[in-house]
Amino acid sequence: MGKFSQKRGKESPAISTASLPDIIFMLLFFFMVVTVMRDSERKVDVTTPNATELTKLEKKSLVNYIYIGRPVEKFQAIAGTKPRIQLGDKFADIKDIPLFLEKHRVKVPESQRGLIKTSLRIDKDVTMGIVTDVKTSLRKAGQLAVNYSAKPRV
Amino acid sequence: MAKKSIKDRMSNEVNAGSMADIAFLLLIFFLVTTTIVEDKGVLVKLPPWSDEPPDIQQLKTRNVYSVLVNAQNQLLVRGEPADLETLRENAKEFIMNPSKRADMAEKPTKAIVSMKNDRGTKYETYLEVYNEIKGAYNELRNEAANKKFGRDYEFCSREQRKEIRNEIPLVISEAEPTNFGEE
């Protein structure tokens, strides 16, 4: 009891801020590591549908993305308003898909090529016609592991 | 004179007080540009492509669970109009056939889900149907895993999972869509 009253009299020392930069740097490095710079501009509008049976895609380097949706307003003058495919950062047609897959494939180490997955990010209002064409093209190219991108249902 | 000033500078330490500010600035930049994207979705294995027409396999109608989705996004399940809410329970009952009905699957290994849609079917509806079917299978596998090994399917070992997969295989066949309602 005596102990406590003794302490009260003392003035508490100022907290040292010398380690503040270190803490901030630590946070900085964390965010630098997790950051993925958006490598391509989104040219089509994609709102993925909701689903419950979801699988998480691991290993980003083994995934290639195909976007299907209506062109955003900026590009409607040149690309029209019908649903289009976006590969990488440009509009594409069905016939461009095999080359796109091959370009991604050569970047992957040979031992992991069997694990490549394609993530289809398709707008929910797109009709199945174009989706089926893309699926057929993927099957012909031998890319069979496909992930229909979706949001968890709340 | 010059000598002196250099000496002066040498003795001065670089002021590190603004280090935190610089770090903050960088931190905020990365905070803003970061998108911690979690890519999730329904994982599907497509059938390999073959140029030859597939052999027509004669399947008993009792083993086939056909789901048709038309361009108006309406469902026809085994010849009867149906809706998405009841699809999962309905499919589960069909696959397991607990009451041994003559018009449902003989056993889970023989059950086949056949999906067909129009080119004008909305992707959202298609995925919802696929999701329900997959959900039905996942629930059945979970139940089987709980009964056999006392834990959920995803926590089972590789061999246990394989055993359950063999018991309740997921077979979804997708027919070429019909040309209706494409815009």
Number of cross-chain residue pairs from A and B with Cβ atoms under 8 Å apart: 148
Query: What percent of chain B stands above pLDDT 70?
Result: 85
| Residue B175, pLDDT score | 78
Contact B46 A25 (CB under 8 A): no
Query: How far apart (Å, rounded) are the C-alpha atoms in residues B79 and B68?
Result: 9
Q: Where are the alpha helices (DSSP H) in chain A?
A: 2-9, 20-34, 76-79, 97-107, 128-140
Helices (H) and strands (E) in chain B, counts: 5, 6
pLDDT class for B156, splitting at 50, 70, 90?
confident
CB atoms within 10 A of CB A99: 12
Average pLDDT over residues B54-76: 79
Contact A124 B177 (CB under 8 A): no
From A145-154, B5-14, B88-97, the region with the lowest mean pLDDT: B5-14
Q: Which of B41, B47, B182 sits opposite A149 (nearest CB)?
A: B41
| Residue B183, pLDDT score | 58
- pLDDT tens string A62-94: 888 888 888 888 888 887 888 888 888 888 888
pLDDT higher than threshold 80 for residue A1? no
Query: How far apart (Å, rounded) are the C-alpha atoms in residues A55 and A78?
Result: 36
- pLDDT tens string A126-138: 888 888 888 888 8
CATH fold label, A44-152? Nucleotidyltransferase; domain 5 (3.30.420)
**Whats the size of chain A, residue-wise?**
154
Query: How far apart (Å, rounded) are the C-alpha atoms in residues B107 and B73?
Result: 30
Backbone torsions φ then ψ of A63, nearest 5 degrees: -120, 135
Query: What percent of chain A stands above pLDDT 90?
Result: 0
Q: Which of B43, B128, B177 sits opposite A55 (nearest CB)?
A: B43
Q: For residues B106-117, b (16+ Cβ closer than 10 Å) or e, as one string?
A: eebebbbbbbbb
Domain residue spans in chain B?
Answer: 61-174
